[in-house]
Amino acid sequence: MADDSISMPPGLVLVSKREVKSTEHPGAAAADELPDPSRIELSDSQEDQKTSNLDDKETEDIPCFCGDEAHNNLGEWYKEYLASSVGEKVLFNDKFDKAAFEEKIKTLLPQVPASNDYCPTCQNLLDQWPEIIKKVPEYHPGDVGMGEPYQQPHFKDTFEFEAGYRNGCRLCTMFVQCTIKRGYSLELWHRSQNRLDCLGKSTVILVSVISDGGYYNLTLTWPGLDNYCWLPADPLYCVKNYDQGMFLSLLWVE
């Protein structure tokens, strides 16, 4: 697993909300050379697995085919996961084969190289940004809460997320930093996916964008979820009316 103790990569800025400054737009690769995350599709074999992967798994106390005794009640766990009411401590009762996850990540590393400091998925997000913000519901003063987000698929799974981070993608690195700030390690992401894999459920990670006053608020969802109310990471911000290709992690400065 990657070391969760990371430093801010060059070119990224931690700023106060009272002192937000413009930043340069990073170099962008040709959009037609990059995969479109909105077209993430499951193969036929994956779809078949999701429909045939132990339909009775929703029933309590049925042992999981992986042999992990902690997985004897995955159906109930999944209901709580969807409702954003599950605690992370239960995940650390799983056996969890770290070596197997590590091997999958290493295999994926050559497939998600960081070109111009961004992995293909994050570079595509930057290329699409002018069109994405047109789809974000506008925030109006007096609205209750943060408003509705615009969401689209970003990573296929937690393996792709960590591979982009390990390859030095600047945006992946900021996402990792923000999830650690909230107290969640990358291993917790993988442990959640491990249970989703056993259930045959989606592991896609969505990117959420909302209008937040003078900013666009950007963050990720947990794998397999579209619930914006339960986020695993502190948000990144893009300043409206400034360069919209760079995101900032905002900290309150005393």
Buried b (16+ CB within 10 A) or exposed e, 141-178: eeeeebbebbbbbbbbbbbbbbbbbbbebbbbbbbbbb
Intervals of the chain under pLDDT 50: 1-3, 5-35, 37-40, 42-43, 45-60, 251-254
Contact 160, 112 (CB under 8 A): yes
Predicted pLDDT of residue 241: 61
- In one-letter notation, the amino acid at residue 112 is V
Identify the pLDDT of residue 148.
81
3-state secondary structure of 121: helix
The structure tokens 């339960």 sit at 230
- The structure tokens 């999944």 sit at 78
Distance in Å from the first CA to the final CA of the chain:
34
Residue range 186-219, pLDDT digits in tens: 999 999 999 999 999 999 999 999 887 778 888 9
Helix (H) or strand (E) holding 216: strand 215-220
Helices (H), the chain: 44-52, 74-82, 98-108, 120-132, 158-166, 170-181, 186-199
At 16, list the tokens: 């106060």
d(CA 107, CA 188): 20
